[in-house]
Structure 1
Amino acid sequence: MSILIHPTYFPSISNFVAIANADELVFEVDDNFLKQTYRNRAYIYGANGKLTLNIPVIHSQKNRQKYRDVKIFNDENWQSLHWKSLLSAYRTSPFFEYYEDELKPLFEMKADYILDFNLKCFEIVCECLQLEIPTSKTETFQPIVDGVKDFRFLVHAKKEQPQHLENYTQVFNNKHGFIPNLSILDLLFNEGPNALNYLESQTITPK
C-alpha cells in the first residue's frame, strides 16, 4: 500500500501509524503552505499538560506560498527553546537518554527551509524507530489522487478527526491523564524500541 502524506514537524502518532503500516510513502511537497497545521508545530506532554512546539516561519506578502519555499524565521532562538522543552518534559521518561544523541543535533543544525527541516526530522525519527520505508515526492499538486491512499488530512492540527489509538504510559499520566495523538517523540521516549510494534498494531482509516 502506498500512502500520500504531508511532511510535518516530528509528526503526530496518527501520521506515523499510517506510515508504519504502509509499503511506500509519497510526500506531498507541492502544496500551498497553510497556517494552523502540523507543518510547523508539534504537541508534547509537559508538566502542565499539552504543550505546543511551534517553528516560526517567514510569511510571504503574497496570498499563497508554496510549502517548499517557506523559510524559517531564525532570528528567534526556537531550536534552543524546543530542546529545553523536550528536556523538561521527557528527561525522566524511560528512553529519553536512549535517543538523545541522535535527536539533539537537529536542534543545533542550521535550518533555512521548513520542508527540508521536517524531512530531516522524519529521517532521524525513522532511524530511532528502526523503520525502513521507500519514499518519493510529488511533482504537482493533485486535489484528488489515484493509486495511493490519501492521508493528507492528518496535517490539520485544529480540525483533527478523532482517531481511536490505544493508551500507553506517559510521564505525567498521574497529573493530567492520557493525552492522545501527541508528537511521535512522546511515544518514542515512553515506549522506546516497542514504539514500532505499537504503531504497527494501530489502525488509521483514510478519508
Structure 2
Amino acid sequence: MDILIHPTYFPSVSHFVAMVKADNVVFEMEDNFQKQTYRNRTYIYAANGKLLLNVPVSFTQKNRQKYREVKIFNEENWQSNHWKSLLSAYSTSPFFEFYRDDLEPIFKKSFSSLIDLNFETIHVICECLQLELNTEKTFSFEKKVTNKTDFRHLVKAKGTDVKPFEPYTQVFSEKHGYINNLSILDLLFNEGPNTLNYLQAQHLDL
C-alpha cells in the first residue's frame, strides 16, 4: 500500500501506524499551511493530562502560504520550553534515558524551516525504532488521489476522531487514565523497543 501523508512535528501514533504499515510513504509538500494542525504541534501526557507543544511560526492567514515555505518564529524560546516539558513529563518513564541522547540535539539545533524540523523529528524517531521507510515527496498538489491511500486528514488536530488504539501503560495513567493518539514520543518513552511491534499490531480506520 502506498500512502500520502503530511510530515508533522513528532507525529502522532496514528501517523506512525499508517507509515509503518505502508509499502511506500509519499509526503505531501505542495499544500497550503493551515493553523491548528499537527503541522506545527504535538500532544504529550503531562502531570495534569494532555499537554500541547506548539512550534511558533511566522504566518499570516491573509496570504496563502505553502506549508514547505513556512518559517519558524525563533524569537520565542520554544525549543527550551518543549524540552523542559518532556523532561517533566517523561523523566520517570521506563525508556526516557535510553533515547534521551538521540532526541535532545533536536532541541538545541537551529531550524528556520518548519518542514525541515518535522522531517528531522521523523528521521530521528525512525532511527530510534530502527525503522526504514521507503519515502517520496510530492511535486504537485492533488485534491483527489487515485493511486495512493490518502491519510492527509490525519494532520487535523481537531475534528478527526481516531479509533482508540490498544491501551499501553502511560506515566500518569493512574491519575487521568489512558489518553489515545498522543505524540509518538509518548509511546516511545513508555514502550521502548516494543514500540514498533505495538505500531504494527494496531489498526487504523480510513
TM-score normalised to structure 1 length: 0.98
> How many angstroms apart in 2 are the aligned matches of 1:37 and 1:73?
17
1:129 is aligned with what amino acid? L
List per-residue Cα deviations over 1:128-170 (Å, max 9, x = no partner): 1111111110001101012111000000001122323100000
Aligned residues: 206
1:177 paired residue number: 177
Alignment map for 1:37-116 (pairs within 5 Å)? 37-60=37-60, 62-116=62-116
> How many angstroms apart in 2 are the aligned matches of 1:114 and 1:196?
26
**Structure 2 unmatched runs, 5+:** none
Aligned to 1:115, what secondary structure does the other structure show? helix
Aligned to 2:85, what secondary structure does the other structure show? helix
1:87 is aligned with what amino acid? L
Aligned to 1:19, what secondary structure does the other structure show? helix
> How many angstroms apart in 2 are the aligned matches of 1:16 and 1:89?
21
1:167 paired residue number: 167
1:2 paired residue number: 2
> How many angstroms apart in 2 are the aligned matches of 1:182 and 1:2?
24
Q: Give me the identity figure in percent.
A: 63
Question: Residue 205 of structure 1: CA displacement?
Answer: 2.5
Contact 1:14 1:163 in 2 (8 A): no
> How many angstroms apart in 2 are the aligned matches of 1:170 and 1:158?
22
> How many angstroms apart in 1 are the aligned matches of 2:188 and 2:129?
8
1:155 aligns with 2:155: yes
> How many angstroms apart in 2 are the aligned matches of 1:81 and 1:139?
34
2:57 is aligned with what amino acid? V
1:33 paired residue number: 33
1:12 paired residue number: 12
**Structure 1 unmatched runs, 5+:** none
2:4 is aligned with what amino acid? L
> How many angstroms apart in 2 are the aligned matches of 1:123 and 1:188?
14
Question: Residue 61 of structure 1: CA displacement?
Answer: 6.5
2:142 is aligned with what amino acid? Q
TM-score normalised to structure 2 length: 0.98
Contact 2:162 2:205 in 1 (8 A): no
1:24 aligns with 2:24: yes
